[in-house]
Chains A and B, each alone.
Chain A
Amino acid sequence: MKISVYRYNPDTDQKPRMQDYEVRPFQGMMLRDALLEIKKQDESFAFRHSCGEGVCGSDGVNANGKNCLACVTPITELSQPIVVRPFPGRPVIRDLVVDMTQFYEHYRAVKPYLVRTDPLPEQEILQSPEDRDKLDGLYECILCGCCSTACPSFWWNPEKFHGPAALLQAWRFLADTRDQATEERLDALEGPYKLFRCHTIMNCVEVCPKGLNPTRAIGLIKDLMLEKGF
Chain B
Amino acid sequence: MSIPSRHFDALIIGAGGAGLNAALQLASADVRVAVVSKVFPTRSHTVAAQGGVNAALANVLPDNWHWHMFDTVKGSDYLGDQDAIEFMCREAIPTVYELEHAGVPFSRLDNGKIYQRAFGGQSQDFGGDQAARTCAAADRTGHAILHTLYQQNIRARTHFFDEFFALDLVRDKDGVIAGALVLEIETGEPLLIEAKATLLATGGCGQVFRTTSNAHINTGDGCAMALRAGIPLMDMEFYQFHPTGIAGKGMLITEGVRGEGGFLVNKDGERFMERYAPRAKDLASRDVVSRSIVTEVKEGRGAGENGDYILLKLDHLGAEVIDKRLPGIRESSRIFAGADPIREPIPVFPTAHYAMGGIPTDRFGRVVVPVGSGSEQVVAGLYAAGECACASVHGANRLGGNSLLDILVFGRLAGKDIIDFVRENPYQRSVDPASLEEAMSRLTRWDQKGGGVPAHQLRAEFRKCMEDHAGVFRTEEVMAEGYQRLCELRDQFKDARLTDHSKVFNTARIEALELQNLIDVGLSIAVSALHRKESRGAHSRPDYPNRDDVHWMKHSLYYREADRMDYKPVRTKPLTVESFPPKERVY
Residues of A within 8 A of B (CB): 9-12, 28, 39-40, 43-44, 46-58, 72, 74, 93-95, 97, 100, 104, 108, 111-114, 116, 120, 122-129, 131-132, 135, 139-140, 142-143, 173, 176, 178-179
Contact = CB atoms under 8 A, between A and B. Distances in A.
Interface stretch (B61-69, B99-107, B282-290): B99-107
Contacts of B148: 113-114
B88 to A, nearest CB: 19
Given A44-B502, A111-B155, A124-B113, A51 B47 contact: yes
A46 B109 CA distance: 46
B451 to A, nearest CB: 15
Interface string B350-370: 000000000000000000000
B75 to A, nearest CB: 26
Among A12, A54, A74, A135, residue most surrounded by chain B Cβ atoms (within 10 Å):
A54
B160 to A, nearest CB: 10
Given A53-B48, A111-B155, A94 B456 contact: no
Given A93-B186, A97-B505, A176-B105, A113 B110 contact: no
Contacts of A93: 186, 504-505
A126 B110 contact: no
A43 B456 contact: yes
A126 B113 contact: yes
Contacts of B111: 126
B450 to A, nearest CB: 15
Contacts of B217: 50
Interface string B8-47: 0000000000000000000000000000000110111101
B154 A112 contact: yes
A164 to B, nearest CB: 17
A128 B252 CA distance: 30
Contacts of A28: 249, 336, 338
Contacts of B454: 43
Interface in B498-514: 498-500, 502-508
B143 interface: yes
B309 to A, nearest CB: 14
A49 B103 contact: no
A56 B113 contact: no
A40 B502 CA distance: 17
Contacts of A49: 216
Contact of A113 (B42, B97, B103): B103
B428 interface: no
B47 A72 contact: no
B342 interface: no
Contacts of B110: 128-129
A124 B105 CA distance: 11
B505 A53 contact: no
A212 to B, nearest CB: 12
B14 to A, nearest CB: 14
Given A56-B44, A140-B140, 4 more contacts: A43-B454, A114-B103, A132-B108, A139-B144
Nearest to A130: B108
Interface string B445-458: 00000000011100
B500 A43 contact: yes
B382 interface: no
Contact of B504 (A94, A112, A143): A94
Contacts of A122: 97
B430 interface: no
B250 to A, nearest CB: 9
Given A56-B43, A126-B112, A143-B42, A178 B215 contact: no
B332 A57 contact: no
Interface of B: 39-40, 42-45, 47-48, 57, 96-97, 100-103, 105-114, 137, 140, 143-144, 147-148, 151-152, 154-155, 186, 215-217, 249, 251-252, 328, 331-332, 335-336, 338, 454-456, 498-500, 502-508
Contacts of B112: 126-128
Nearest to B251: A53
A10 B504 contact: yes
Contacts of B338: 28
Nearest to B457: A40
A139 to B, nearest CB: 5
Contacts of B249: 28
Contacts of B508: 39, 43-44
B502 A9 contact: yes
Nearest to A73: B335
A118 to B, nearest CB: 11
A128 B103 contact: no
Contacts of A97: 505
Contacts of B328: 55
Contact of B105 (A9, A57, A108, A139): A139
A67 to B, nearest CB: 17
A132 B107 contact: yes
A129 B215 contact: no
A189 B152 CA distance: 20
24 contacts: A11-B502, A11-B503, A39-B508, A43-B500, A44-B502, A51-B45, A52-B216, A53-B48, A53-B332, A55-B48, A56-B44, A56-B47, A57-B42, A74-B335, A93-B186, A93-B505, A111-B154, A112-B154, A113-B151, A124-B96, A131-B108, A132-B107, A142-B47, A143-B40
Contacts of A12: 502
A8 to B, nearest CB: 10
Contacts of A53: 48, 251-252, 332, 336
Give 8 nearest A-B pairs by CB, closest first: A114-B103, A126-B112, A113-B151, A43-B508, A11-B502, A94-B505, A44-B500, A56-B43
A117 B250 CA distance: 44
